[in-house]
Amino acid sequence: MNSYSLQGQIALVTGADSGIGKGVAMVLAQAGAKVIINHVDAHEVAEQTVDEIKAAGGDAYAIHADVSNEDEVKAMYAEMFQQYGTIDILVNNAGLQRDSKFVDMTLEQWNTVIGINLTGQFLCAREAAKEFIRRGVVAGVSRAAGKIICMSSVHEVIPWGGHVNYATSKGGVMMMMKSMAQELAPHKIRVVSIGPGAIQTPINHGAWATPDALNKLLTLIPYNRIGEPEDIGKLAAWLASDEADYITGTTIFMDGGMTLYPGFADNG
């Protein structure tokens, strides 16, 4: 059980039908939030997440939208407002990788990653911020007028060869988050990022699927375990709650120590 409550709050989680997004949606629902499961892939998969949340006693609703498409994002917000009236928490989670050696990287690989990971977060955050400002703080719901949680990565600070598009998108998310936080704080809107390390999800399947790959990955994680979506979900729920009301404009890394330069532990 959580020691804090998101009761009476509406949360939109983008890319919530799998991986970290699904883990976040489940924990937010456990904390009492009504959760909108945004997805771009098959509707049935999103409906499974909705069913799992409902079976656990929560409330959820699935809406399709490609977050990199402005019209689809606006339509998603319109549908959410029709269903639930407003929004209190945005978890800007949808993200993907299109890995390639730099010299072979196509413009399409670059644009796809920047489009979903960075522009998608911009579009969803802008629509949420407009509603937070219009509605303001609601007494008894939260001390903040709204919370935006951006899913970043350890790669907002760790350079990542072979993934230049991805690392660039996350570096961009960091500065977008900080600049938004500065501009929106007077409106009582909090903006923060989570910087996950290696979390066991489909995005990095190759990095943990075999014992060899997992052992190699663990050399990068001083705490010596791979993370789980629920780890990130618990942090997201806490950051969204009033327990974290004085936190804005910063990234919380949750990475088992990946950002501690483990290569220097017995070297240098």
DSSP letter, residue 205? H
Q: Which of 204, 213, 247, 259 binds ligand BGC (CB under 6 A)?
A: 204
Does residue 259 interact with ligand BGC by CB under 6 A? no
Minimum separation from the CB atom of position 159 to ligand BGC (A): 11
Residue 198 near ligand BGC by CB under 6 A: yes
Closest approach of ligand BGC to the CB of residue 4, in Å: 26
Does 49 participate in binding ligand BGC (rule CB under 6 A)? Answer: no
116/108 Cα distance (integer angstroms): 12
User: Tell me, what DSSP letter sits at residue 225?
Assistant: S
Beta partners for residue 63, in sequence order: 38
User: In whole angstroms, how close is the CB of 14 to ligand BGC at the nearest point?
Assistant: 15
Alpha helices in the chain (DSSP H): 19-30, 43-55, 70-84, 107-114, 120-135, 164-184, 205-208, 211-218, 229-240
Question: Can 4 be counted among the known catalytic residues?
Answer: no
61, 77, 84, 166: the catalytic one is: 166
In the chain, the amino acid numbered 8 is: G
Q: How far apart are the first and last CA of the chain?
A: 44
**Rounded CA gap, 228 and 148, in Å?**
22
Q: What string marks each residue from 143 to 182 as x (binds ligand BGC by CB under 6 A) or -?
A: ----------xxx---------------------------
Output 97 or 119, the one with its CB closest to ligand BGC: 97
Q: Which residues form the catalytic set?
A: 166
Interface residues with ligand BGC (CB under 6 A) are 97, 153-155, 197-198, 203-204, 207
